[in-house]
Amino acid sequence: MSILSVKDINKRFGGLQALNAVNLEIEQGTVHAIIGPNGAGKSTLLNCFVGRLEPDTGTVTFDGKSLLGIQPHEINQAGVARVFQTPEIFGDLTLLDNVLIPAFAKRDGAFRLNGWRSAGRERALIDRAGEMLADVGLGAKAGEIAGQLSRGDKRRLELAMCLVQEPKLLLLDEPTAGMSRGDTNNTIDLMKRISERGVTMVVIEHDMHVVFSLADKISVLAQGAVIAEGLPENIKGNERVQEAYLGGAHL
């Protein structure tokens, strides 16, 4: 059963055809990787999912409802959360406060930097935020200032900020970019645990170790179009993918 359905999405920026008749079916409870060379249109596609861009033509349907023409915060409220290429956290606040903000936003339907202050520190949400931090391995750092974290820990914090909202669909744009191999492997393990809970994930990633460790299905974009789609073992040996993605080298 598809939780996200993309039909004939086109997006042009001036003379550049960024997306060209893209079709995708994201099955519920799976990890679906989207790969391709730089400039293939991957991040543009994700922006069409979350309301940051409006496609010129086509449809995007999540959980049976169209995502087109509604605001990003409404899409988030519907159950879609996104992790960006560069971690988007509140660097001057503690880790706990970073997770409390989206927790209150999910409950109250609004995302305000200091929204939790006026609402009061309710015990149930504080406990839930603490559980999410512990779940991603940051429980002992709950009182630390987020801006002092390593890149890997910032990524884990951002995941906790997403998970506290209990998303149905988690979109991850280069989740391991700039990480050491150790941090990358820890992030892979974390994402596997998230997937095992039934959270559907769409992952854009250049690191093929990450892709082949996680993905149930892979779609390959090149010049804004899907050129191949299938199981990881089939994508590995696809000559067209090898040519488009790595100039003919093996994945």
Question: Taking the domains of the chain in order of start, what are their residue ranges?
Answer: 1-79+168-251, 91-166
pLDDT band at 248 (very low <50, low <70, confident <90, very high): very low
Indicate the SS3 state at residue 90. Answer: coil
The 10s digit of each residue's pLDDT in 53-65 is 999 999 999 999 9
| Both tokens assigned to 162 | 């997403």
Q: Which residue has the tokens 């409950």?
A: 107
- Average pLDDT on 41-67 reads 94
1-79+168-251 domain in CATH 3.40.50.300?
A: yes
Give the pairing of strands 31-35 and 80-83.
Answer: unpaired
- Most confident of the following: 42-46, 233-237, 247-251: 42-46
Q: Could you tell me what percent of the chain has a pLDDT over 90?
A: 65
The 10s digit of each residue's pLDDT in 93-148 is 999 999 999 888 877 665 454 544 544 557 888 899 999 999 999 999 999 999 99
CB atoms within 10 A of CB 48: 25
Q: What angle separates helix 151-163 from helix 123-135, to the nearest 10 degrees?
A: 140
Give the closest residue to 101 by CA, choosing from 146, 149, 49: 146
Full strand arrangement of the beta sheet holding 80-83: 80-83, 169-173, 200-204, 31-35, 217-222, 225-230
- CA–CA dist 213, 209 (Å, integer): 6
| Both tokens assigned to 163 | 């998970």
